[in-house]
Structure 1
Amino acid sequence: MELIEPISRKLIRLGKLYLNVLVKHTGHLDVSRYHYILSLIYFHDGQLTQNALAHILGKDKSAMVSIINLLTAKGFVYRENNPNDRRQQLLRVTEKAKLAVPQIVETFENINTDITEGISTAEMQVFESVLTRMHNNLKPLISTQTTTLQAKPHTD
């Protein structure tokens, strides 16, 4: 038997390196690790609910509440009642976020340029296509495994 490294480990290592570089350049902003989430809220200022954001990011609602609470405590985001549906709260950014997000986006652009140096546009398109296919291949396995586990008879 041969030891196989899961693809996920390679992606996690790359993600950690990327995040380390990002934090090195944006640490003074004190955004924690939610740079992209804050950017999404900024670009959709006042148009997203927590639930809509959770759906976009594929996060569960309770995790999203914790993230929004943290960004609120740090002074980047606030909730505003939706005038069209009082049960919903829209996410808005503060002046602090309006100053921080352009710096974050610029840092994303710089890191993306650095990380893709020597990689052609065609290679990046293939990379993104492969990632999308892997994602699409894995998604049905979650529901299949859950169904399979539930279908097995319980024996003691």
Structure 2
Amino acid sequence: MQLIEPISRKLIRLGKLYQSVLAKHTAYLDVNQYHYILSLICYYDGQLSQKALAEMLGKDKSAMVNIINQLTEKGFVYRENNPNDRREQLLRVTQKAKDAVPHIVETFKNINTNITAGISEEDLKIFESVLLRMQSNIKPLNTTTT
């Protein structure tokens, strides 16, 4: 038998290292692991519902509610009724988030620059393409059949 490391372990290892560096550089903001989610909400301030954000990120609705609740408790986000559909709540950011997100985005930029040092633009495009292809290839494997 040959021992094979799942590709997912390599991606998870890289993801954990990235998150660790990100957390160290943004600890003073107290965002936990929701840096990207907060930056998305800020970017689309008032245009996204929880449901739309959950779909965008591939998260289930209950997980998204918990994340939004945490960001709300920390004073970054609040919900506002959609004037066009009272059943839907839109996500808005507070001034605290507007102050924090530029630091988060700058940290993303710096980490991305550092971890891609010595990697050509062409290789990065190939890497992105391969990741997207793998994502596309794995989706049919995730369907259940009875």
Query: Unmatched 5+ residue regions in structure 1?
Result: 151-156
- RMSD value over aligned CA atoms? 0.4
- Alpha-carbon distance, 1:120 to partner: 0.3
SS in 1 for 2:108: helix
Query: Unmatched 5+ residue regions in structure 2?
Result: none
Q: When the two structures are superposed, what TM-score results if normalisation uses the length of structure 2?
A: 0.99
Task: Percent identity, please.
Answer: 74
Structure 2 counterpart of 1:73: 73
In the TM superposition, 1:69-148 aligns within 5 A as 69-143=69-143, 146-147=144-145
**Structure 1: distance between partners of 2:74 and 2:18:** 23
In structure 1, give the amino acid aligned to 2:112: N
Q: How many residues align?
A: 146
Structure 2 counterpart of 1:53: 53
In structure 1, give the amino acid aligned to 2:66: S
Structure 1 counterpart of 2:27: 27
**Structure 1: distance between partners of 2:141 and 2:2:** 24
Structure 2 counterpart of 1:153: none
In structure 1, give the amino acid aligned to 2:132: T
- Alpha-carbon distance, 1:68 to partner: 0.2
- Alpha-carbon distance, 1:5 to partner: 0.4
Structure 2 counterpart of 1:43: 43
Structure 1 ranges of 4+ moved more than 2 A = none
- Alpha-carbon distance, 1:88 to partner: 0.2
SS in 2 for 1:70: helix
Q: When the two structures are superposed, what TM-score results if normalisation uses the length of structure 1?
A: 0.93
SS in 2 for 1:59: coil
**Structure 2: distance between partners of 1:10 and 1:110:** 22
Structure 2 counterpart of 1:154: none
In structure 2, give the amino acid aligned to 1:69: N
**Structure 1: distance between partners of 2:27 and 2:13:** 20
Larger of the two Rg values belongs to structure: 1
- Alpha-carbon distance, 1:75 to partner: 0.3
**Structure 2: distance between partners of 1:23 and 1:32:** 7
